[in-house]
Structure formats: C-alpha cells, structure tokens
Chains A and B, each alone.
Chain A
Amino acid sequence: MNNNGLPFDIEKIIEDARNELEKITRKDELEYWRIKYFGRKGVFAILTSKIPELSQHLRPEAGRKINEAKNLLNELLQQKKIIVESAQTYNDTGLNYTLTGLKPDYGYFNPITLVSRDIVRIFQNLGFGVHTGPEIETDFYNFEALNMPEDHPARDMWDTFYLDAERKFLLRTHTSPVQIRVMEKLKIPFRIIAIGKTFRRDAFDASHSPVFHQVEGLMVGYDITFSNLKAVLIFFLRELFGSNVRVRFLPSYFPFTEPSAEISISCVICNGRGCQTCGFSGWIEILGAGMVHPEVFLKAGIKEKNITGFAFGAGIERIAMIKYRIDDIRQFYLNDIRFLTQFE
C-alpha cells in the first residue's frame, strides 16, 4: 500500500463511501450517511483535525487530498439526493404525486359535425346562409324538379329508398332538393349552403354507406357566372385543405346543371405524385357542381330570363376521410368510442 507517507488511505475512504451511498434508497439513510462523512464529528472533520499532527512537508498534500475527496463525495451526495427525494412517492398528504391523473370526462364532437362546422364557417365568411330541408322528400323535389322526369335514365345514378307503393315519398338521395325549396322561399339574389343526411340504396363497403351526409351550395343572382363558381369553390377548397392545394375542373354530367363540372384537388396525401388514396392519379374528386339548369329555375317557379346561378355538392364523410385520413366510411357509423375521441 502506498499512501505517499500519509497515515490514511483516502482512496479507500472514497470507495467505501461510494459503496454505502449506492445502497441507499431512503431519505433518512441518506441523512445518516451525510452525518457520517460531513457531520461535525464525521470522517472529514476527523481527518482535517489530524493534519497539524503531520510533518511539515506532508501537510499541503494531505489538505489537498482531503479537499478533493470532500468535493467529490459532496457532488455524489447532491445527485443522490435528487434521486432519493423523487422516489419519495407517498408524503404526509397521503397523495402519490407521481401517479398519472384520471382522464377527464371530455365530450367529443362527431367528425361529421367538426367537418360540417369547418364548411359552415368558410361559407358564412362568404356571406352564405345555412338552410335545411326534409330528409323525407317527394319524388317532385328529389327528381322531377331537378330536371329528371319519370323514366329519365339519370335516375339510375341514385338508387332510392321509397316509403310508399306509388313511389311518391322517398328518402332524399342528395341534398339538391333543398335548392328547389330555397328558390321557392328566398328572394333573389341569395346564396346558401345546406348540410344534412342523404340516403342511397347502396350496400356497405369501405367507400359506400346507405346513409351519408352532404353539403349543398347554391348562389343565384343576375350576374352569376361559371367563373364565379370557380373562384368560390377554389377559395373554399383552399380554406379547407390548405392554400397550396391545386384544384382541377373537368366537365361532368348532372341533369340539374348545365354546364356541369367535376372538381378534384391535388391529392393531399402524396401532394399529387400518385398514391393508393388517389388511385395513383394524383387527384381526388371532391365536388360536383355546375350552372343551374334553366329547367330547374322553371320548376322552382323562377321565370325571369336573366337570372343565373351555380350549385355544388360534396360528401361530408368523404371530406372527413381525406382530412383525417380515414380509410373506411363504415367507421363513421360504428360509434366506436376509440374512434370518436380522436377528433378535436
């Protein structure tokens, strides 16, 4: 053993102290340890008191070694203190401050409601009013007034639930009947949207549901053009999906609009590069729209010649599916609380 002539082995003292410290888990044990080494009659006090007994040339070296050891052990003490104190779970209040709190009883809105609210907000900013119409409709409002007389082949586009044998009453297959109802009621010019349930005789699969929600829009006035339609819908889609979304207008066919358009946005998942969601086309179809067909104006009792308007429609679930990346429309109707509580 080489103690450089000192009468104590400082390395051994450090090692012992370290080993003792390691085993300590409780606050009182730590205090005990602290007193043993740093107390008034502790190890370091005793060692220091022995320095004057040493020969002159050994004194500085002994003082330095003792100080180094003291600093080291004090550092370890402070670290241990943090560990020991935070491990002290139950305190005198009887509370374990470290336990995870109970989950709050928040209620959650259905994603259909959340998306509807986004849409309403955007259109209210553009001065559109929100209107409603019945879910049980008549053949007249759902088909005939929308330029689909009996036996019109376009009726096949909507497989319909009927409530009576004469097929006069039905569950609306789209929100477009609201167009007729507001045209009968409101003074021109006006602009409205309507949101509600629609029904189609489609069996459930990942992208079809016999019940789903639609938003309908209608703007009628004396100088409404296709280029107005484009501007309003591009504004809407960019507000909803972000300002860098690209919007594409292509011709389409609806009996109640002419010209008709199908509107797609650049895929928000792959940014238009092509992925599963957009069928590798880079585009997602999102809206049907067009200029109100003159026959529809006539059916709604509007005879003035220079009145024009545009209308559009979109599926709420479809928008929600794109926005929240939901891959199966059936999710909306399972009311699984693990699904419903994901949307804020």
Chain B
Amino acid sequence: MRYSIKILGEYVGGNWTEQDLKQWLGMLGLNPVFTRENEETFIEIETPANRGDLFSAIGILRTLAPFSDIEIKYPEKDIIETSDRFLPVEIECFDDCFFYAGRIIESVKVEDSPSWLKEKLISAGFRSVNNVVDITNIVFWEFGQPLHAFDLDLLKEKIIVRRALDGEFIVTLDGVKRELSPQVLVISDSEKPVAVAGVMGGLNSEVTEKTTNLFIESAFFNPVRVRRSSKFLGLVTDASARFEKRVDPSLIIPALDRCCRLINEICGGKISKIITCGKNPDWNKSIDIEKKKIVQYLGCEIPDDFIIKVLTKLGCRVEQMSEYYRVIVPEGRSDLERDVDIIEEIAKYWGYDRIPEQMPLATIAFTPSSQEYLMLDKLRDIFVKLGFTEAVNLGFYGEIERNLFGGQVVEIINPLSRNYAYLRNSLIPGLLQNFRDNFNRKIDCLSLFEVGNIYCQKDHGFFEKPVACAGVVNKWDFYSFKGMIESLLVKIGYHNSVQKVSRSDTGDFVEFLQEGKPVAKIYLPGIRILKAYDLEQQNVFLSEINLEKFLMNGFPLTVYKPVSKYLPVKRDLALIVPDSINWKDVERTLFENIQGLENIEIFDIYRGKGIPEGCTGIAISVVLANKDGVLKKEDIDATVQKIVSILKESFSILLRQ
C-alpha cells in the first residue's frame, strides 16, 4: 500500500515529521520506503500476511497511535436517508458471508471525478474511472473495506449471495469471460451472476456514465472462500487480497455510510435506508496474559504503565489484575489471537533493540549431531583430497535427460519450465552438463564431484537417497580414475566389492556389488551420450556411489596393524592375460591360495606387438611377506612358482617370454 504523507496528515490532529514516521514504521518492521514525486512524499510499506488492517489509512494510523499523542480524525459519514427504494438481499450460506449491507442511491450523475478526488486517488495508487467508482476506491483506501457499486437498473429483482453453478459464466470488469464453479462465491440477481464476491464485479452490472441509480455493497466475505475463488479464477485484486486477510466487520456500515455520503456530495442523489442480511457475530475476544510470561518470553521486565498505554492506544480494552492482564482486542486486529501475539505487540513498541542480550545459561546439555550430515561432509574431504572439485546442481531433469537416461523419475506437477520438470534419479547427467558448460568455456580438462540426493517414487510414496558422483574429462586415464574410486570405496567401507562389467546403449559400466547388491558403478558414456553433451572424442569417466549402506554402517574403524619387522620381497611378472578374464577373480583366487601374499600391483599394461590378439600384456609386482622371519630364497621361488601355475591352470594366463 502507498500513502501520501500529506493526505495521511488530513486524517490526524497534531503534528508529525517525516523523520518520526520513518522511525516508527521502521521500528515496527514494516520496511517503509519513502519516495518523492511532484513535491509530495509517499510511503510504501511491506504488509505482513496476517495484517490486513494495514491495508488502510485508518489501520496505519491506529498502528502508529502508541508512538505519539496524535488523534485520529475519522472521516465524516453522517447521511440523510431520503429515498424509499428497496432491494431484497438473500444469503444462501452464512458461512460464506455472515453479513451483507447495502444502500440504494437514486438519481446520481456519473461523470469524471473532480480534480481533488482524482489527485487523492492517484496518490493512493488507484486509476481514476468515474466519480462513483473512484469514491468506492477512496473509501476502501480510508477504511480497508472493499466496496462495490452496481448499476441498480441492471439488477433483476434481488441480490443473492450464493455459490456459482457448474457451467455458469461471468464476464468480469476486465472484459474476460470466466467459467465459474461451485468453488466460487458470486453475487447474483434473480437470473445471473453479477459479480464474483470479494474479487471483481461483472460487466453486466457495471456503473457507467449512463447509470442513474446505484446499489452500493459493503459485506463480510469468508476469507477462505475469497481466497479459493481468487485461486480458482487465477485473479488477484486489491479487494480479494484484502478480503482473504479478513476485513473488520465493525467497519462495514461506517464504510458504507461514508461512501454514500461522498457520492451524495459529489454525484448528488437520494440515499435509501440501509438494507442488510445476516449479522455480525458478537465480538468479545479477551486474552489473558500472565505478567511473568512476558518476562519469561522476552527476558526483561517492561513497565506496567507502558504496556497499558500501548495496548489502549491500539484500541484494546485492558484490565490489570495482580498476576495478569485481561485484554479485549479490537475486531480489526484478527492477528491478535493469543498471549504471545500481545507479547509481540509489547516488544515491538518497546523496541527489539532495547531488549538486552543474554546468553542462555548453561543448564542445557549439549545436543549431539546426527551422524549423517557429518559423514557426508567427511566424504567431501576425500573427494577434494583426490583432486575433485565440488559441483552443486539444482537436482532437476528436463525431457532431454529423461529421454537420454530413462529410468523412473518423479514428476513435478507444477514445474517452473520443461527443463526442470522432473527430479533427478542420478547425478551423472548433472555432471555431464557441467562438463559441457565448462567445455564451451574452453576448459577441456577437469574433474568434478557432487554429493546430493536422488529421488524416486515407490507405491504411493516418494523417496530420496543420498549418492555421490565423481567424473573426469581428459584429466586422468581410466586406470587412475578407477584407482581413485576403488580407494574411496575402501575408505567408506565397501571392501572387496565384486565387480561386474556390462554394456548398454548408454555406455559401458563396471558395477561394484556388496552382498549381491550394487553399491557403486564406474560409467563410460557411449557415443550417443557423448554426442548429446558435445563431448565426442573426449576421455570421460564417471562414477556414482550409493551411500545408504555407508551411512548406515559408518566409516570403518581404523585399527592399527603391526608393521612387519622383516622386509617384504617383490617379484615382477610379465603376464599375457586373455581379455575374457575378470582380473578381480584372479586377485581373489591368488589372495585366497597364496600364503604371505601381501599385495599385487599392476605397473604396466600393454597391447599390441608381441601380445597375441585378444590378450593384454600386464606387468605385475607381487609383494610377499612373512611376519615370522626373513623369507628364504627357496620359499620365494616356490611361492612364485605356485602363483604362475595357478594363473596358468585357472585362468590360462601365461608368462610373457
């Protein structure tokens, strides 16, 4: 809402300065913005969602009252009733509208507003339409009660406040034809809807320069109902924004009278008696606030007389008892529901800055952390140590990712755009996208990782699980990358994984299994995927690691193993290995059968001249150790011989001559 300080000043007795207003509104957290236009100063404030009362000049003035001794001058609203015209009003359901009031004004002259009204209206941020509509708007601005003027002669027989029927239509004042539903509350005559209640009037009853007789409406519409109508129609207006924050029922008749008085003054005409249907519920909301609770909440004492003065100036009736205050809050402050709301009011006017700071006394036990967060954070350390840089992606898929990688994905029913229509089920596409983006910036050698959730849908529930993903372009060769991933898997407790190799139309996979379940994979994207990410001809390796088992079991315990006192022995072997052999099987078999075998290190891999087709030359070092003493040469030779014969008999691996 926008207020001209000058015009606001017309409603107060006494003086304030711009500086006062700045300070007061600031203290209340309304973030006032002051602007100057044509030598007038305007204030614009942020209105919290629960403060419908601040949508009006009177509301603002009431809220400023505790700061000063100014007096609010309420606008004049006395009228003389000289018309006998009547229009019946019915309300179908009092839940939707408990009170509806109106007056007829006969023989008015609808024309352009006088210039003083136009100026006032424009400074309040409205557009001038004609004198009648402008008056309803300026009274709305004054009281915060939205009003609507109908052309009486276009209304058939009566007014009914009812739900719309399926298949009913209305053309609203903005010229749009809108389909209605029973969700929507309408004002109707005996034949047709003539307005969407609390949202916007209908074109079929619009006040124009041809209008001579008016019906002015002032009512209470259920906030939830107006909100639903407005959401259903996708139509938010000043009126709907106000109604959905609950209007002040005690202002319905004053606003109506004020409006009729102004119309009579400016447009002439004769005003009828008031026409009403339903009634305002009795208002007597009283809240008890224990004095000790104020201290318990704020951590400081606030003097009784200050509390009483603030609440009284806000329009509350305050009774002071020895242990508590009994406060009857004004009807317009529907945000004041319970004691803590009143405590906030007191604190606001006292000033948050005046409340002293006090560290909590150390009577509270320290709260331990959930391990999950800290473990994921430690995992990041390992990746960074290995030379990966941390990426963070949004976590959405578009059609492109979904088509490229398939699999079940969770769909967002109201996505921001088609590029963000699904939740990711893998971190791999995100890193590929990052590679592409960096590639386009001429960075063709990099390594990234990400730790985050992937999402899936099972039965009727949605699930998320944490995974880690690492990838590299052109920076390391396959074996270096694989070595990093293997060492990381050991660090997070995925020892001795079984490795399974497979190929699909998206590329090649090395899957790591624990107890038969996949825990990680290394992925070499196929040509189709590389093309899609502009990464053809580049060396791209990725790995995705499922972290559920790790988060359940934790990091493996570090237990010191005594270091052998005797030097280990290394023997190098040059092998010819058929490509059909899974090297992991070879390692496992050797470790199971060779006593004292400490390690097998691959130090060279060679294909080509001198190596038969379908085979690879692999040079290994076997490390042998004995914890009981120095190994004898005969024992070493015998062990190496045994290794060679296992390799030959079980795997057809021969020594290279």
Binding site for B on A (CB under 8 A): 105-110, 112-113, 117, 120, 124, 127-132, 134-136, 151-154, 156-157, 161-165, 169, 171, 186, 189-192, 195, 197, 201, 203, 209-211, 219, 221, 223-228, 230-232, 234-235, 248-253, 255, 258-262, 291, 293-294, 306, 308, 332-338, 340-341
Contact = CB atoms under 8 A, between A and B. Distances in A.
A219 B360 contact: yes
Contact of A259 (B347, B353, B441): B347
B165 interface: no
Nearest to B347: A259
Contacts of A201: 414, 416
Contacts of B423: 163, 171
A189 B355 contact: no
Interface stretch (B155-163, B336-344, B569-577): B336-344
A187 to B, nearest CB: 9
Given A131-B369, A260-B344, A291-B297, 15 more contacts: A105-B475, A107-B388, A151-B228, A161-B415, A197-B453, A225-B298, A226-B297, A226-B352, A227-B358, A230-B358, A255-B49, A258-B344, A259-B298, A259-B340, A336-B437
A130 B370 contact: yes
A6 to B, nearest CB: 69
30 contacts: A106-B384, A107-B383, A108-B389, A113-B390, A117-B377, A131-B370, A135-B453, A156-B49, A161-B415, A162-B413, A163-B413, A201-B416, A209-B394, A210-B420, A224-B360, A226-B352, A227-B300, A227-B358, A250-B352, A251-B29, A255-B50, A258-B341, A259-B343, A259-B347, A261-B29, A332-B392, A333-B392, A333-B393, A336-B441, A341-B389
B439 to A, nearest CB: 10
B371 to A, nearest CB: 9
Nearest to A167: B413
Interface stretch (B264-272, B442-450, B524-532): B442-450
B443 A253 contact: no
B558 interface: no
A253 to B, nearest CB: 3
B464 A136 contact: yes
Contacts of B463: 136
Contacts of B368: 129
A227 B298 contact: yes
Contacts of B370: 129-132
Listed from nearest, the 9 A-B pairs whose CB atoms lie closest are A227-B299, A225-B299, A253-B48, A259-B344, A251-B29, A129-B367, A107-B384, A249-B352, A231-B357
B630 interface: no
B223 interface: yes
B15 interface: no
B437 A261 contact: no
B307 interface: no
Contacts of B383: 107
A231 B359 CA distance: 5
B244 A153 contact: yes
Contacts of B363: 189, 221, 223
A163 B410 contact: yes
A309 to B, nearest CB: 11
B275 to A, nearest CB: 30
Contacts of B359: 228, 231-232, 235
Given A163-B413, A223-B361, A129 B369 contact: yes
Interface string B366-381: 1111101110010010
Contact of B387 (A107, A117, A262): A107
B411 to A, nearest CB: 7
B391 interface: yes
A104 B369 CA distance: 35
A189 B364 contact: yes
Contacts of A132: 370, 372-373
A211 B430 CA distance: 14
Contact of B364 (A120, A221, A225): A221
Contacts of B373: 130-132, 195
B568 interface: no
Contacts of A113: 377, 380, 390
Contacts of B413: 162-165
B296 A223 contact: yes
A312 to B, nearest CB: 14
Contact of A338 (B228, B297, B412, B441): B441
A198 B386 CA distance: 29
Contact of B357 (A234, A260, A308, A340): A234
B384 A108 contact: yes
A336 B438 contact: yes
Contacts of A106: 384, 387
Interface centre among A128, A234, A259, A332 (most CB of B within 10 A): A259
Contact of B27 (A190, A209, A251, A341): A251
B462 interface: yes
B224 A151 contact: yes
Contacts of B340: 258-259, 291, 293-294
Contacts of A210: 394, 396, 416, 420
Contacts of B455: 135-136
Interface centre among A152, A190, A221, A251 (most CB of B within 10 A): A251
